[in-house]
């Protein structure tokens, strides 16, 4: 995961920072959303609803670069 994060930083998709910390953040988001979804703790009952929520979490939580590539 850390190498994927490094590539995203190189491609200016993420702002420069600690790759291991970004990887942990991404892992936490993915597994957090998955755990909530499989235990029925999300208000969404469709795959599309869960995926839309996951996209929102990712879009709002990762320190993405706002400059064009």
How high is the pLDDT of residue 66? 67
Whether the predicted pLDDT of 69 surpasses 80: no
CB contact at 8 A, 13 and 37 = no
From the list 56, 62, 54, the residue with the least C-alpha distance to 23 is: 62
Banded model confidence at residue 2, pLDDT cuts 50, 70, 90: low
25-60 per-position pLDDT tens digit: 888 999 999 999 999 999 998 999 999 999 999 888
How high is the pLDDT of residue 26? 84
Name the residue ranges covered by the structural domains of the chain: 2-61
């Amino acid at each position: 995961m850390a190498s994927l994060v490094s590539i995203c930083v190189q491609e200016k998709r993420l702002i420069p920072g600690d790759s291991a910390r970004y990887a942990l953040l991404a892992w936490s988001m993915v597994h957090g959303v998955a755990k909530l979804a499989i235990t029925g703790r999300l208000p969404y009952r469709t795959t599309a609803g869960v995926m839309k929520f996951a996209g929102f979490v990712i879009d709002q939580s990762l320190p993405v670069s706002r400059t064009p590539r």
